[in-house]
Amino acid sequence: MTTRIRRYVETDTGHRVPNHKSKCRHFHGHRYRFEAEIEGDIVDTPGVSEEGMVMDFSDVSQILMEHIHDVVDHAFIVYSGDEEAKLALSHLNSEHRTFVVPFIPTAENLAKWAFDQVEPHIKNSYGTALKLVAMHVRETPKSWATWMP
């Protein structure tokens, strides 16, 4: 496998890091970028739509939209052990999107979570080698985290 492609989706998502020593312990949000990095062989099956590609970018986008964007966009991610945040969020109406996770929602942990959501869906039907090699999460323009197995 020698070719890598990347595709991303962006979300507007809130979180907090409850034990953080500074301002990140407060409720706040980010314009996150979840970027999948995929490695594989070029499809060489003549006449198929994906000929010449590792994977169709639109297929990657669909996976990212369904398994990342539609789950966390305009939602508040809260750690299951953050009782104070869960109590505060419980007072909002039923339309509020709260997404409870079993980890502190740092960029590092979100990168691993996103990898685990996307990885089972990275496949093709042409028999070429294909795998998700990394998930990159941009929390701010200057702050990125990457998770790879």
Phi, psi for 63 (deg, rounded to 5): -65, -45
What is the residue extent of each domain of the chain?
Answer: 3-147
Residues in Cβ contact with 61 at an 8 Å cutoff, skipping those fewer than 6 apart:
7, 9
The pLDDT tens digits of the residues spanning 40-56 come to 999 999 999 999 999 99
Q: In whole angstroms, what is the distance from residue 45 CA to residue 29 CA?
A: 44
134/149 Cα distance (integer angstroms): 7
pLDDT (tens digit per residue) in 93-148: 989 999 999 999 999 999 999 999 999 999 887 878 899 999 999 999 999 999 99
Name which of 58, 63, 43, 51 is nearest 132 in CA terms.
63
Strand, coil or helix: what is 10? Answer: strand
Task: Please give the CATH number for the structural domain made up of 3-147.
Answer: 3.30.479.10
- Could you report how far apart the first and last alpha carbons of the chain are, in Å? 16
Q: Which residue has the higher pLDDT, 8 or 124?
A: 8
Asked if pLDDT for residue 1 goes beyond 80, the answer is: no
The span from the CA of 101 to the CA of 79, in Å, is 5
